[in-house]
Amino acid sequence: MAVGDKSRYYAEEVELEADADLRGQLQRTLDLGERKDWHLMGVSSLPNDNVILFWDTTRPNYARSQYES
């Protein structure tokens, strides 16, 4: 699935390079999601040592309703 074809929720597999800085790789991916105003919902590890990041791609409204000013 291409990123442009995603619905509200998006599962992104992050392929981690074993010989590189794992924390840095994840941080760069998280920063990219933040720049898109995505909200991280969860993380899952895979047997191949990769991870899946579960994103909510809509901007949060922080429980504000149309009736609040």
- Nearest CA to 55 out of 24, 2, 12 is that of 12
Residue 51, domain member (yes or no): yes
Residue 69, domain member (yes or no): no
Domain extent, residue 41, equals 3-56
Phi-psi bin for 23: left (phi > 0), alpha (psi -120 to 50), beta? alpha
Number of domains, the chain: 1
Residue 62, domain member (yes or no): no
Say how far residue 10 (Cα) sits from the centre of its chain. Answer: 7
Q: In which band, very low, low, confident or very high, does the pLDDT at 1 lie, cut at 50, 70 and 90? A: very low
| Predicted TM-score (pTM) above 0.75 | no
Residue 42, domain member (yes or no): yes
pLDDT in tens, 35-67: 998 999 999 999 988 999 999 998 766 666 666
- Nearest CA to 41 out of 66, 10, 20, 3 is that of 10
Residue 44, domain member (yes or no): yes
